[in-house]
Amino acid sequence: MNHDDKLDIGIDVSKAKLDVASTRQKQVQTVPYTPEGLQQLLQVWEKSPPQRVCLEATGGLERTLVKLLNQNGIPNAVVNPRQIRDVARATNQLAKTDAIDARVIARFAQTMTPSPTPPLTLSQQKLRSFIARKRQVAKLLVQEKNRLATTTEPCLRDMVEQAIGSTTSNSSPSHNRFRS
């Protein structure tokens, strides 16, 4: 089978929509990132199953799509966005739109043939979520401490100090509810 005969799909994931490029078509399809839009993609792929679906790691936006792909036995590779940008630069594709990104991701899938990303276990998913939340809270804490350094109004200082205290406090009753 010719390398070009295999169907590789590149998807640019955003909060509201998916831009879907195929190595067999020039046109990029845009579908809403909703259960209906995802079902639409599955119906298309039933007729012509992809060899691989490739998408960038987006900090969590991709999780619903990846879960659906795994549930339907569709091989998928979640790739570091830097790798995709490196391929875009190497092919002199400097413009950046969602449709162009989807095409670059499809080309990356075809030429680099990334290995499928193994599905995460429930424990791994839970751990990933907790780590993400810890990063969010740490970032918030730094922001509040910086805000405290520039706040002169006493009642506002109290509010910021209270926010910092509630962020660092381990004595709250809700703290223990996350232990399993």
Percent of the chain beyond pLDDT 90? 69
Q: How far apart are CA 104 and CA 85, in angstroms?
A: 8
- Other beta carbons within 10 angstroms of residue 142's beta carbon come to 10
Q: What is the pTM of this model?
A: 0.73
Q: What is the pLDDT of residues 97-112, one digit of tens each?
A: 999 999 999 999 999 9
The yes-or-no verdict on residue 178 having pLDDT over 50 is no
Instruction: Give yes or no for residue 171 having a pLDDT over 60.
Output: no
**Which distant-in-sequence residues (6+ apart) come within 8 Å of 132 by Cβ?**
59, 60
Average pLDDT over residues 121-139: 91
Tell me if 118 sits within 8 A of 95, measured CB to CB: no
What are the pLDDT digits (tens) for 7-31?
A: 999 999 999 999 999 999 889 999 9
pLDDT digits (tens, 9 = 90+) for 73-83: 999 999 999 99
What is the average pLDDT score of the chain?
88
Question: Quick one: three-class SS letters along 31-77?
Answer: EECCHHHHHHHHHHHHHCCCCEEEEECCCCCCHHHHHHHHHCCCCEE
Contacts for 40 with CB less than 8 Å, ≥ 6 apart: 31
pLDDT at 169: 67
The model's confidence at residue 4, banded by pLDDT at 50, 70 and 90, is: low
The better pLDDT of the pair 15, 94 is held by 15
